[in-house]
Amino acid sequence: MTRRDAIIIGGGIHGCSTALHLCLRGLRPVLIEKDYAGRHASGVNAGGVRQLMRDLAEIPLSIRSMGIWEGIDELLHDDCAFDSHGQILVAETAEDLRMCEERVATLNHHGFTHEELIPVQEVRDLLPAVAETCTGGVISRRDGAAQPARTTTAFRRRAEQLGAQVIEGARAQNVRREGGLWRVDIAGDSFEAPVLVIAAGAWGGEFAAQMGEPVRMQAVAPMLMITSRVPHFIDPVVILRSRKLSFKQFPNGTVLIGGGHLGSADLASNRTILDWRKLHESARTVFDLFEVMREATIVRAWAGIEGKMVDDLPVLGPSTRHKGLFYQFGFSLHGFQLGPGAGAVMAELIADGRTPTDISGLSMARFHPQT
């Protein structure tokens, strides 16, 4: 039996970020990943570093995380290809624009100013190739994008350099609490620690159920496509108000198309199945909005496996039932940007018993209020 300060189950950006931030506080965790770090959602998402259009409950965490993103090179000794050309929500109709106005007014009422309403002319100045039907939009100027697999690997590598033990290709088994400690078996070894963090992504719900705290979550497969190269026409990341779409152009001219259309996910086999009709819908939306894309071809498409909560908000924080147990999963297709901040918050909860970042709306207690 090997003793550690904390056991983390799950090697996505959240588990790796928590491992790193615990090391920064002088603790020595072990991270257990059944595949390899970034194998699922954290390594194959669109890489959006987005504060834009967050639920009010996760805006404080998103703002905290953005501050870390802006110093990511210093933290990880790798800039993770992070750029901050902003993200723009494009309104296509008068109704879209009205809802954008209401959104910004609501945020301002709560004291948040990172989203700005911009008129149609500024949208066209920033996106010269946008369709003439555009009516305006909302911008979050500090937002941007990074390379997800590179970022997750950088967190894992830096955590290892600072003392974390990372075990890949090993499934956590027989999770239990004995003698005041959490114990986990893997093939050929066992670990014990006073703290257990479930950061297992789409598999997090299975562990939570084993702990007597089931949640309403489903495994989904968000789909992405990459196109052939087209002339440079866009710097910010673009999302739409009324249709499922997000996309960005890389320096080599290729365009990444996402936006939330889902394929099918099989947790038992680690497999995803693409829905080509929905992929066609995503491609058609881009072609409608930007004429320059109409000659592009789709080079490849893929999907990762992710956990989608019934309310589209993650579970982040302590268990309602067990001492030393913490949850960090269910980020519902928008957890990449939150990863650095969530790891910092989790380390504070473990080391200090509190965090200055308001995560009250993300608690497991919303599913188990009686405990």
**Residue 238, helix vs strand vs coil:** strand
In Å, how far are 209, 217, 222, 255, 365 from 225, measured between CA atoms?
34, 25, 11, 8, 37
Question: Maximum CA pair distance of the chain?
Answer: 67
Q: In what helix (H) or strand (E) does residue 258 lie, and over which residues does it extend?
A: strand 255-258
What is the rounded distance in angstroms from the CA atom of residue 257 to the CA atom of residue 249?
Answer: 9
Q: How far is the CA of 208 from the CAs of 34, 153, 202, 325, 364, in angstroms? A: 17, 26, 11, 10, 10
148-161 vs 339-352: helix axis angle to the nearest 10? 30
pLDDT at 241: 79
State residue 245's pLDDT score.
Answer: 81
User: What is the chain's pLDDT, residue by residue, as a tens digit (371 residues)?
Assistant: 899 999 999 999 999 999 999 999 999 999 999 998 888 889 889 999 999 999 999 999 999 999 999 999 999 999 999 999 999 999 999 999 999 999 999 999 999 999 999 999 999 999 998 888 899 999 999 999 999 999 999 999 999 999 999 999 999 999 999 999 999 999 889 999 999 999 999 999 999 999 999 999 999 999 999 999 999 999 999 998 778 888 899 999 999 998 778 999 999 998 999 999 999 998 888 888 888 898 899 999 999 999 999 999 999 999 999 999 999 999 999 999 999 999 999 999 999 999 999 999 999 999 998 76
Task: Give the per-residue pLDDT at 331.
Answer: 97
What is the torsion angle, in degrees rounded to the nearest 10, for the CA atoms of residue 196, residue 197, residue 198 and residue 199?
Answer: -150
CA distances from 305 to 49, 54, 239, 258, 325 (A): 19, 21, 22, 14, 24
CA neighbor of 165 nearest in space, from 183, 191, 187: 191
Residue 223's nearest CA partner among 117, 126, 300 is 300
φ, ψ at 340 (rounded to 5°): -60, -45
Specify the pTM: 0.95
